[in-house]
Structure 1
Amino acid sequence: MSEKLTVEKTIMIEATTSTVWDALTNPEITKQYFLNCEAISDWNTGDPIIYKMISDGKEVIPVKGVILRQKSEKLLEYTCFAPEFEKDISKHTKVT
């Protein structure tokens, strides 16, 4: 039996909404703070999202997901999971 774990955390960021949106969706910026990974997506609801990086000269995708909801510069909600858990929804994390 798997338990559903919920963690809620709110932070205040002193920046414009467009700056925050860019930090979440611009691969060159995500690379600076997310495991050296570029976030790649078309950023529409239902689209896949991958976080890719170069490790030992090879492209690696340590995290994948799906965009659940988005309103440009207002809301971004997506799943994320290690590729080996793609079919096991209980191992997916939802980020809003």
Structure 2
Amino acid sequence: MTALTSALYYIVIGAVFIYIFIYAYDFFYGEKPEKQIKKIHKHFRKETIKKIDTLEVEPRKYTLYQVTLENGFKKVKLKPGYKVVNIVAKKETKKKQKKGTV
């Protein structure tokens, strides 16, 4: 009986350590592209995705994707931990020129 309980104990503790090791590996060595694509599909679940292109990869920092939708395209940055950040284009501001006497 004690051998059975100790075997179950080692299996449970081993499973916890394996899960922590997989999570730490993803965090320190970058995420898998398949999981990133899944996360993008989950983020845009209400819209129809036509194509996903990888623009820039910076390991352990971010991955930049361009997602082509039915009504246009959006740029998305995925950070470690599969955090999705929408990239918004900057608006160009017109500088007002002062009227001066020349």
Fold-level similarity (TM above 0.5) = no
TM-score, length basis structure 2: 0.28
Higher strand share: 1
Q: TM-score if structure 1 supplies the norm length?
A: 0.30
Choose 1 or 2 for highest CA Rg. Answer: 2
| Structure with a larger share of its residues in helix | 2
